[in-house]
Structure 1
Amino acid sequence: MLLYMSNANREVRSMSLHSVSVAGVVVREDGRVLVIKRADNGAWEAPGGVLELDERPEEGACREVLEETGIKVEPERLTGVYKNMKRGVVALVFRCRPVGGEEHTSDESVDVRWFTREEVERHMAEAYAVRVLDALNASGPHVRTHDGHRVLGA
């Protein structure tokens, strides 16, 4: 229904194909953040993935973090909304705190580590590092666009 309503004033109806993903920026008491090295492309990112149709965004972020890292988390707040303009993916990112579990890899992650802010800036692509840095910041939530590598707008 929303799709129809969003195109109601157009003569030719187009289909908006977006995917919604969620990610959790898990911050320990010492300020380090949980990151994974993705199995598909070797990139360092905050754990996350596609939001299921029947789950709330916060629940999806917790599920994805647990599946990819073995760490159980509680969401604290939404820290940003990020759109990949090339792929049509909208990501909702939540700052989370760890509440249990043990780190392990999965089918989607080949490494799991706790990075410092400096390691995030050094090892992560700008489009994904900004998500972590925004979550470490007290301001927000932020709304940003990117091309998969670089942030396009602040």
Structure 2
Amino acid sequence: MTAPVQPTHATVVAQWRSGRGWRAVLLFGPPGAGKSDLALRLIARGWRLVSDDYAHVFASGGALYARAPETIEGRIEVRGVGVTPSCALGLARAVLAVELSDEPFERMPEPETRVLDGVSVPLLHLNPREASAGEKVAAAIARL
């Protein structure tokens, strides 16, 4: 694999996909946007943490991968509680980017992508505070 790029400000969680292995979602947003909170809700549904808040994201063989920097591996910030241990994956293929914001989004948006280390992945805009945010992420990754 190639050397990792500079740390990317994103929380990364992955879901096991039968026949495909672990497929990761990169959650982007400013501090306090709800990246860790949405990750916790997905983890409660069986997803696994890859990295909280910062991740090394890099391309290899035309695919995008993410892993945690060693200094934060296996830990997630639980707002109001503190940093807690979490069962984490060492590496996962990233197949979806999600931009988190409280701003309203198009009901039926045109497809968008985000390019990371030369690899284009689908981009979803989402309000992480909606009760259905986890289901929306799961529905989006199931289409890939």
TM-score using structure 2 length: 0.26
Q: Name whichever structure is richer in helix by fraction.
A: 1
Q: Which has the larger radius of gyration?
A: 1
TM-score using structure 1 length: 0.25
